[in-house]
Structure 1
Amino acid sequence: MTWQTNAGRRDVIEAMKKLTNFPVLLLAALLLPVAACNLTPSITDSDTSVEDGDWPNYGRTGSEQHYSPLNEVTAENIGQLSLAWHFDLEPGFTVSAPVAADGKLFTTTGNSYIRGFDAVTGKLLWEFDAKTRELAKGPLQMNYGNKGIAYWKGRVFLVTTDGRVIALDANNGKPVWEQREYSLDEMRNTNGPPRIFGGKLIIGHGGADISPIRGYVTAYDAMTGKRLWRFYTVPGDPSKPADTKAEQVSRPTWKGDWFGKGGGGTAWNSFSYDPKLNLMYIGVGNGFPYNPKLRSPGGGDNLFLASIVAVNADTGAYVWHYQVCPQEGWDCTATMDMTLADITIDGKLRQVLMQAPKNGFFYVIDRKTGELLSAEKFAKATWADRIDMKTGRPVENPGIRYQDRPGMFELWPGPQGAHSWLPQAYSPRTGLVYIPVIEMGALIGPAPAGMTGIGSGMGAMLVADAPLKGSRRSFLKAWDPIKQKAAWQIELPGVWPGGVLATAGDLIFQGRIDGQLVAYDAKTGKQVWSYKTASPIVAPPISYRVKGKQYITVLTGSGSQGGGILASGNAAFRTDYALPRQVLTFAIGGKDPLPRYTMTDRVPVDDPDFRPDAAKAQAGGMAFAMNACIVCHGMNAIGGGAAPDLRYSPMIMDQNAMKAIVKDGALKLNGMPAFPQVTDQQLEDIRYYLRAMAKQAAAGPAGAQAGAPSAATSKGM
């Protein structure tokens, strides 16, 4: 691990002089609970360029706090919070965050279908269809919905899953400029939200789960679309000179005959920005193959995999890095949101970056230098005992490296992570970080010979939702970053906890898999309000103000990769693909009567000729997993909301219909890509497996949750 910086020192006194509300906030600090007494809440955000009433970026500002400074809605009046307006959406991905500015609300659903609304009335102003389903090439670029969009100076920005970067006129939805981030033939896709930092549009991408691509992050001029810089997260051709600092730092950590065979490091989700330090922070993902011995035969930490990297915001030049999982081998990514805040630790004001990545440790890092300040477990983690504060490296538990031992063994957290990409929030008023936590283990081992399918090159075998003791649980944890322990926690239904919003009204909003939007007291965790919908709520809510009134908006509906990978743990709840998906906007005194939705019963397909065959079911389950069917259609074929639940589809009874859909792409425009690489035998095995799962679903809840034995590839969710 290396800590390096060329950032200048921040003059704290001068910064505090500029804060006009310092006396008020200082008084508020005296009233905070003991858990927050070491904080300096007068400095709430490193990026103060955003108007209080707007929410233009995924995390609102470059600090990615998912915090609104609005305080009209409080625990005292939240009983008056009710629906102001709603809008019905089409089936598909809705696990995305809207943005709001200048009296308008903007949403993205499905494959980059963008809408602009009047933020007060919900009137639809315009629609833009990026036509990703028509233009995308292959399943990697089609079957993931984008997680968010951005707004800046009268423009809405999106990135399609097939790699087009588009700026729209916020008044009418017409394209202003368009760029292509990568070729359609490359094994890349983009589903994370773009960010606008200092007039620059920041873009990452995915794809490292199935190919040894070289990850990178790109910055565009938001006004013109001109590419400004590109930062590569793994080194390039070792036969060429190392002409950048990033190359000089990363190249020695890749050893042996690795180039062209190993790679990855895609930054598909998380970015933060400190305009005063002029630093941008990149959260980097896993490597490919997963097995480090195949990826980098000579060993090495493989930088910048599973790392937080700080770069110069103007040039993209490397400044410092911190690696959370050296020699990453478990889909251990640092692509979870990175929260920036200024807090006092041991009597010293520190400018920190806080992250709860997949690996189960909560990190507090000096964002100027990359120095590790503290790290403790926020969830069950068996891969490491602790983080050595002298070296900053994890102290791994013996035998945790599957590439060095035979058979499968238990690993916590599993590839879904202790915290996935659904965002945490931070309140400068309480000093607490509110984390949607997943408690879920997995089985992992070396890949057996003869594996085929999209995920067959990983070099590892993963059963991502193994029914382990204490597994398949989720929590909302209010984490004290100074004491490094939970101030309070609430166990949630299911295993796919929604994204979090914190407000200056001392409230925490979070959706749940059981269809509840819930508000909690930020200091105590006491539930103070809830609203029941017909669908799960997983997307993070936002809050904004128009004409002096505070609004809270969230999109309903399950889905995304997490909805599939975690489907077994959510089997007790209806997460149907066809359940109503809506934009819901709340305000004090709202008067929109949402029509009542009547849930209909699902009936598994009638299959009287089915005859059990354990070997065929096993083969079909393996093919279903290794060809990534689980990502959309769910673990053990239990639908998670991202796509139809195939246990209830008559298509599985028709061999020709299955072939037309799966191999030939007959339903491409519906969002189902073609999988021509699937052999006829694999397809028939998959069809048998789905019939077996339908039979179990017909047997009742116990059978529906048990599932036939199946392996699971891991996906950065």
Structure 2
Amino acid sequence: MALAKWIAASCAALALAACGEAEPSFSGPATQGVTDAMLAAADGNEWLTYGRDYGEQRFSPLTQISAANVGDLGLAWYADLDTARGQEATPLMHDGVLYVSTAWSMVKAYDAKTGTLIWEYDPEVPRETLVRACCDAVNRGVALYGDKVFVATLDGRLVALDQKTGAVEWTSTVVPNQEDYTITGAPRVAGGRVFIGTGGAEYRARGFIAAYDWENGEELWRWHTVPGNPADGFENDAMEMAASTWGGNWWELGGGGTVWDSITYDPVNDLVLFGTGNAEPWNPAVNDRNAVANTQPDTQGDNLFTSSIVALHADSGEYAWHFQQTPEDRWDYDSNAGITLADMTIKGEQRHVVLHAPKNGYFYVLDAASGAFIQAEAWTALNWSTGIDPVTGKPEINPQARYELTGETWTGLPGAAGAHSWQPMSYSPDTGLVYIPANLTAFPYRAAGDDWEPSALGFQTGIDGAGTAMPAIPEIRQAALDATTGALVAWDPVAGREAWRHDYIGPWNGGTLATAGNLVFQGSAGEQFAAFNATSGERLWSFATQSGVMAAPMTYAIDGEQYVAVLVGWGGIWDIAPGVMTAKSGRPRNISRLMVFKLGATGQLPAPPALAEMVLDPPAFTGTPQQVAAGAQSYGRYCGACHGDAGIAGALNPDLRHSGAIGDGDVMRMVLIDGALHERGMVSFASVLNADDAENIRQYLISRANEDKALENR
């Protein structure tokens, strides 16, 4: 029905053009190559879109690899990657070719049977883009449509490549500036429209989703997720309605609500559904965004359309419905986790529904046509909310969780990493279960002081990063480590209860794949790729990957043989920001590879390089307590997001406690102020820091390094 509608619309536009009345601005759906009909059919032998099918179920009907024989799975081939950053993409397979994006938005095409490299593309993203990339230089995948491959680049471009050669067909700039926005998500395509959003809700971004013509890259429509300055007028009625839920001069910091992942096309209703990110800043007090006086008490201070699922009409970009999952979000509880569509019987009624497990710890079931609330249950431990209204689906917020009002540190559960983040979940219509990568982690929130002001660089969250940094107290660190774990949770969305779980040592494990072979595949932060019985949760097989796995696997078949592919390479926000928590699953390392498995294969990986010994040998502390306190504030605001909480970094970015720069004030100033390492992503912070600030940060790092050295020697 939807495809016929698009074709009719295209023909009507051409007819008008023939009469001289209008020039068509839309090329129409593809009629050759990868078409809408192919995407809708979702042939199990191929994997044509990010979640395999329009419903983003990540369920494969292939059965050759099953619970009975998965123990015979072996490595068929692998390809080393030249980007030692986090790898988060799901490969796509069409016509015997495997297409995959890597960190820094590079794209590679391989022979899916042999692993032979066919072509590769490097968009040459400037490395200084890292300064506005909250969570590593990652990319989650490409899209296929017609004769093209589409990739969105970290610096905000949408690029169309020729499927056979990798040659650039067209490039469109998506982002409005090069200060606040990045793109890490995978595009989706339906009806000739390429859908993409951006990241940046920790900076000054105003969220949006846009649609582009697949053939020529022209923008067809753009829909913002938060209202702009009322003095400029509103783009549509939805923005005017949303403005009544905001206070202060929210638009001055963008507002957030970015669409950095989770785009799903629903062909049943011809809607594009997407999740939105947190409000910006996190702390509502710094710009009074929750101080709203209006005539709608039920939405006062909700800050629409942040932390919501929104549905738009795919052809026009017009608003259809929304459901806000975390009103007045001050905890970074993005709703950007993948959105899954399914047909199931709920309370005796057959329904076409949305299944969603956002960061906030609740599992939601919504009506896909209207967004009407059906049910929600807490699927993991949480304390920010005391329950869900059974009629409206609106959460009751724990008063203590409003940390900007209490003035106290709030240890929120889930934490900012989310009970479930971007790592895709999968749904098996055979078992009726959803398989969720769970992060069982907390996070300390504390409002910044009254003197907090926006700045030209760094996170604009309004959070006191120094006041919540992990102290060098063994008992506190151990308690935090003990409470930081992960799990693979099999959830029954109809009954609203857990069916089984597999516990992990730590969080930030990979996305999942379910198959008709009664299997669930998942990689882990502990450097294993494993298969589980989808019904019982029994672990049936595993393979040592030599690096943590965050990405979701996929499967395909060629010449009667089924393959399973997964991208391996540790990184992302959990490697960068959590400090001492980073190593919960073991000391992290990045060995980036594409790995492909099949039954009976006997391939082996080369031995991994030995981990270098990390010995703390800092210079003696010669600063003052005042310098340490000031340096802690500057570090927490401008450095910790990349170099780790309390100066403890993961595997990707330098651990500054070990850096030679902290022993030389001139070198520290050259890096921080002069931008001596800008070509490696370490830009100058001269717009927000001066020479005294650089020295304060140096003394803070020396102090921290000596504290941790003393702990090692206990």
**TM > 0.5 between the two?**
yes
CA distance in 2, matches of 1:702, 1:623: 28
Q: Is 1:149 matched with 2:142?
A: yes
Cα offset for 1:510? 1.0
> Partner of 1:253 in structure 2?
245
> Partner of 2:375 in structure 1?
374
CA distance in 1, matches of 2:641, 2:648: 11
> Partner of 2:417 in structure 1?
416
> Partner of 2:361 in structure 1?
360
Q: Is 1:119 matched with 2:130?
A: no
Question: Contact 1:94–1:556 (CA<8 Å) still a contact in 2?
Answer: yes
Q: Is 1:168 matched with 2:161?
A: yes
Cα 1:422/1:47, change in 2 over 3 Å = same
CA distance in 2, matches of 1:137, 1:332: 23
5 Å-filtered alignment, 1:473-622, equals 473-576=485-588, 579-607=590-618, 609-610=620-621, 616-622=627-633
CA distance in 2, matches of 1:444, 1:71: 47
Cα 1:105/1:651, change in 2 over 3 Å = farther
> Partner of 2:656 in structure 1?
646
1:459 corresponds, among 458, 462, 472, to 462
> Partner of 2:14 in structure 1?
none
Cα offset for 1:701? 6.6
Q: Secondary structure at the match of 1:151?
A: strand
> Partner of 2:28 in structure 1?
none
CA distance in 1, matches of 2:542, 2:693: 46
Deviation per residue, 1:332-380 (Å, 9 max, x gap) = 2211111111110122111111111111111011111111111111111
5 Å-filtered alignment, 1:46-445, equals 48-90=40-82, 91-133=84-126, 136=129, 139-140=132-133, 144-211=137-204, 213-239=205-231, 242=234, 244-255=236-247, 257-260=249-252, 263-293=255-285, 294-298=288-292, 299-445=300-446
Deviation per residue, 1:422-444 (Å, 9 max, x gap) = 11111111111111111222222
CA distance in 1, matches of 2:135, 2:348: 51
Deviation per residue, 1:524-582 (Å, 9 max, x gap) = 110000001221112211212222221111122211123223343232445545x4221
CA distance in 2, matches of 1:338, 1:483: 19
Cα 1:684/1:356, change in 2 over 3 Å = same
- Percent identity of the aligned residues? 37
Question: Contact 2:264–2:273 (CA<8 Å) still a contact in 1?
Answer: yes
Q: Secondary structure at the match of 1:386?
A: strand
Cα 1:155/1:659, change in 2 over 3 Å = farther
Q: Secondary structure at the match of 2:243?
A: helix
TM-score by length of 1: 0.86
Cα offset for 1:589? 1.8
Q: Which amino acid aligns with 1:568?
A: V
> Partner of 2:27 in structure 1?
none
Deviates more, 1:256-265 or 1:134-143: 134-143
CA distance in 2, matches of 1:101, 1:566: 38
> Partner of 1:36 in structure 2?
none
Cα offset for 1:81? 0.7
Deviates more, 1:277-286 or 1:293-302: 293-302
Cα offset for 1:185? 3.9
CA distance in 2, matches of 1:359, 1:137: 27
TM-score by length of 2: 0.86
Question: Contact 1:137–1:185 (CA<8 Å) still a contact in 2?
Answer: no
Cα offset for 1:330? 1.9
Q: Which amino acid aligns with 1:300?
A: G
Cα 1:117/1:678, change in 2 over 3 Å = farther
Cα 1:618/1:508, change in 2 over 3 Å = farther
Question: Contact 2:574–2:582 (CA<8 Å) still a contact in 1?
Answer: no
1:684 corresponds, among 680, 683, 695, to 695
Q: Secondary structure at the match of 2:701?
A: helix
Q: Secondary structure at the match of 1:48?
A: helix
Q: Which amino acid aligns with 1:580?
A: I
Cα offset for 1:457? 4.2
CA distance in 1, matches of 2:150, 2:544: 32
Q: Which amino acid aligns with 1:589?
A: G
Question: Contact 1:46–1:275 (CA<8 Å) still a contact in 2?
Answer: no
> Partner of 1:13 in structure 2?
none
Q: Secondary structure at the match of 1:117?
A: strand
> Partner of 2:473 in structure 1?
none
Cα 1:308/1:533, change in 2 over 3 Å = same
Cα offset for 1:473? 1.4
Question: Contact 2:65–2:599 (CA<8 Å) still a contact in 1?
Answer: yes
Question: Contact 2:79–2:115 (CA<8 Å) still a contact in 1?
Answer: yes
Root-mean-square deviation (CA), in Å?
2.8
Q: Secondary structure at the match of 1:461?
A: coil
CA distance in 2, matches of 1:328, 1:464: 22
Cα 1:665/1:63, change in 2 over 3 Å = farther
Cα offset for 1:660? 3.4
CA distance in 2, matches of 1:421, 1:464: 25
Deviates more, 1:335-344 or 1:91-100: 91-100
Cα offset for 1:231? 1.0
> Partner of 2:642 in structure 1?
632
Q: Which amino acid aligns with 1:327?
A: E
Deviation per residue, 1:255-308 (Å, 9 max, x gap) = 455443562211111111111210110101111122334224325322111111
Q: Secondary structure at the match of 2:161?
A: strand
Q: Which amino acid aligns with 1:122?
A: G
Paired residue total? 658
Question: Contact 1:192–1:268 (CA<8 Å) still a contact in 2?
Answer: yes
Q: Secondary structure at the match of 2:488?
A: strand
Gaps of 5+ in 1: 1-6, 9-44, 704-717
Cα offset for 1:608? 5.1
CA distance in 2, matches of 1:533, 1:141: 26
Q: Secondary structure at the match of 2:252?
A: coil
Gaps of 5+ in 2: 3-36, 293-299, 471-475
Cα 1:674/1:374, change in 2 over 3 Å = same
Question: Contact 1:264–1:286 (CA<8 Å) still a contact in 2?
Answer: yes
CA distance in 1, matches of 2:241, 2:425: 31
CA distance in 1, matches of 2:713, 2:375: 43
CA distance in 2, matches of 1:699, 1:151: 54
Q: Secondary structure at the match of 1:132?
A: coil
CA distance in 2, matches of 1:383, 1:572: 24
CA distance in 2, matches of 1:638, 1:483: 42
Q: Is 1:675 matched with 2:697?
A: no
Question: Contact 1:47–1:275 (CA<8 Å) still a contact in 2?
Answer: no
Cα offset for 1:702? 9.5
